[in-house]
Structure 1
Amino acid sequence: MRPLSIVTPLLLASVIFAQEESKHPYDAARAAMKSRVAEQRKQFAGNPDVRFFGDVMADRKGRRVEIQACATGARLTDPIEFFVTPFNSGKDYEAICATEAVPSDVHKALEFIGLVPGRPVNFNTNHHWPRGPRVVMTFGVGDADIRAEDMLVDPQTSKPLARTGLVFAGSYTRTDPSGVKRYAADEADSRTIASNYNDPAAVLDIPVRAPQSAIYGSRRPNPEHAPKLGELIRISLAPAPLADAVVDVDVMVTATPAGYRLEERGKPPTEVRNLVHLLDTLAGRLDGKSNLFTRVTIDTEVKIDQLRKLYAVLMSVEQDRGVKLEPPAEGELFHRSFFPEEEWRSRENRLGEPWEFFLQRTGEQLSGRLERQVDRGEAGEQKRVVERYEVKSPAELVRLVNDNQSQWSKTVFVYPPADMSYGELRAWTTPVLATYPRVFVFPVMSPTTRPATQPATTP
């Protein structure tokens, strides 16, 4: 038993040492952050202009929100998706810093200093631009105050992000099974406070169009501003100064066979003759301090070719502090529906098994042919066949695509005749959108609009 009595203290000592070694570098920082918040609470006790939302301090008079955070120690080669994220998000490895702050508390704090949340992106409803008041985020690292954008660089250029500020879009909310509304940023996968891509659950988004899939890997830590793991950071949020503020303006562009009409609330409508005149009129309203959130309405007699040219012009000036196209009204086609990839004409260059609908005019009557190339047979013995259906009415089209749904057929490609009006097109596409929201309209090609395809048999 003597040897055991000697080994046991050594074993206990090694366990204690291992426990000390296993402490996370965040631990000391989290304790220091708690201490900072406690000091602030004591300092501002009784001040009606200062309120705490959890660990988030909001100064109504100074119009400033402060969050205590610490650096994640991200490597210079790490892709960064978040400026700041909660510790419990599990995403700190993709963030500059992490915090105890709860996203919904940050939201409340921003409202307390007078900011009104806008609207997050929602790709399902074609809201591709976040909307809301512009906010400047500053990182206090040691004695330096660093703009959030300067903390990151584009590895292709080695330059920091543009100082655009962030948008207080406010996270979306969801209703749980019990009927209680939940703040998505507190519970969704990313659980983020501020992202550098368009995240519908983020409290603060960036004001440019930046889908996660398009920019992943293009944001890295700036080697000139790389705080060490666990280093304390004071995050300050404040409304953008007047010189950098951006005003969101709602405008409506109406297309008619005779031209276009531009309307803005509180101003008389402007009639424009052509697209050059429309672009000049829009340019006159783009002062560098306005976002023109633009909704387009289309007269039913407008030809599809005219509509496509209109959208091409508007998309050419779509940017931050410029035109930002809004989603269409219910039952209308999204503007990008008129710009499918040309390579999709080839059935060999597509994913899935999209429906193809060929419209044709006979006299005054419109009818169509519905086709879908599918794989038939067992594995190793599959062959491609083309299903074909003659369609005489919109109701028949809806019935056919709904009765023959498959997990591979989520999209409808439409090939209209050159003289088709938007009203005629809508009569066919609006009923389909309820179950097939991805509809693409191909421009007419001579001599035929049929897609290039490999030979296939008809079942």
Structure 2
Amino acid sequence: MRAALLTLALATLAGCASSPRNQSASEPFESTRPSTESRFIEVFPHVRLDLASRTIEIDARIATDMHDPQTPDVYLELIACSPDSREHEALVVTDARPSHIHAALLMLGLEPGSPGRFELADGSLRAIPPTGPPLEVHFRVPPDGGAALVPPENWIEVLPDRSTLGPQQWVFAGSAIRRIAGQERYWADLEGTIIGLTTFGSEVISPLAMHHPDSMIQTPSFLARNPSIPKFAAPVAIIIRSSEDRSEP
């Protein structure tokens, strides 16, 4: 399956070299791409890539209603997810397939690491942090007259004092391959876990800071900072840029 993802990435990149950018006809929401940007090419549905800046952008939308007075506290476990997965606890949802996002990151020349996980050792729970090349993650929100880049941390507050989540270190963890009914499957395609916040172990992109998803083990502490977040289903672009140092030693 890993070889298949690499083959898909290389074949798509070769095709893009000779093809103009093609906006997906099936895109169900407004594009958030500024008109001045012309270096991005669509490599998969809802996924565009700019090799020069080592950046990908992904069409997304606000995943749930953060402004419903009946549910003022929206607990979060993910930054970004797939439809019909964990929208109720994610900031944004995207129709882009997690495996396509993985392949686009491969096209930037990045090698995935591994997601974080928790293991029992000598009767205690041990956290094994995620690994992978470093990434910068932002949202691009199209306000009147332009587009602003916003760190996802700005939309999250942390209990008990509801302070804004500090800057996170993000890595290309690369999810994992699982054999289901005799077939290899990309785990994030099954789970919908694209950009993590708590540590499920199946994320494509993970923060280095780990938080257990079981509330019996670790109390949930991430809430949506509601006033900062656009309305439900508003279009947002996820901007992911490699921050890997590629300078010669």
Q: Give the TM-score band, short-chain normalised.
A: 0.7 to 0.9
Q: Is the 8 A contact 2:78 2:197 kept in 1?
A: yes
Aligned twin of 1:210: 211
- Cα deviation, 1:203-236, whole Å, max 9, x if unaligned, reads 0111023211255531111134211111110110
| CA shift for structure 1 position 105 | 0.7
| In 2: Cα distance, 1:215 partner to 1:66 partner | 33
Aligned twin of 1:373: none
> Is 1:149 matched with 2:130?
no
Aligned twin of 2:53: 62
Q: State the one-letter code of the partner of 1:231.
A: A
The runs of at least 4 aligned residues of structure 1 exceeding 2 Å deviation read 30-33, 72-76, 121-127, 213-217
The one of the two structures with greater contact order (alpha-carbon pairs below 8 A, sep at least 6) is 2
Q: State the one-letter code of the partner of 1:141.
A: V
**Partner SS state of residue 123, structure 1:** strand
Say which of 45, 57, 66 aligns to 1:74. Answer: 66
Say which of 168, 171, 178 aligns to 1:167. Answer: 171
Q: State the one-letter code of the partner of 1:74.
A: M
Say which of 214, 222, 243 aligns to 1:240. Answer: 243
- Cα deviation, 1:78-126, whole Å, max 9, x if unaligned, reads 101111111132x111111111111111111111112211011243586
| In 2: Cα distance, 1:169 partner to 1:216 partner | 24
Indicate the structure with greater helix content.
Answer: 1
| In 2: Cα distance, 1:235 partner to 1:144 partner | 12
| In 2: Cα distance, 1:104 partner to 1:124 partner | 26
- Cα deviation, 1:256-292, whole Å, max 9, x if unaligned, reads xxxxxxxxxxxxxxxxxxxxxxxxxxxxxxxxxxxxx
Q: State the one-letter code of the partner of 1:60.
A: L
Q: Is the 8 A contact 2:141 2:236 kept in 1?
A: yes
**Partner SS state of residue 108, structure 1:** helix
For structure 1, the residue ranges without an aligned partner over 5 or more in a row are: 1-29, 246-459
Aligned twin of 2:113: 118
Say which of 95, 101, 106 aligns to 1:106. Answer: 101
Q: State the one-letter code of the partner of 2:53.
A: G
Change (3 A) 1:157 1:207: same
Identify the range of structure 1 (117-126 vs 75-84) with the bigger mean alpha-carbon deviation: 117-126
| CA shift for structure 1 position 138 | 0.5
Aligned twin of 2:189: 186
Say which of 28, 37, 44 aligns to 1:53. Answer: 44
| In 2: Cα distance, 1:181 partner to 1:124 partner | 24
For normalisation by structure 1, the TM-score amounts to 0.41
Percent identity between the two aligned chains:
24
Aligned twin of 1:31: 28
| In 2: Cα distance, 1:153 partner to 1:117 partner | 29
Once superposed, what is the RMSD of the aligned Cα atoms? 2.8
Change (3 A) 1:187 1:171: same
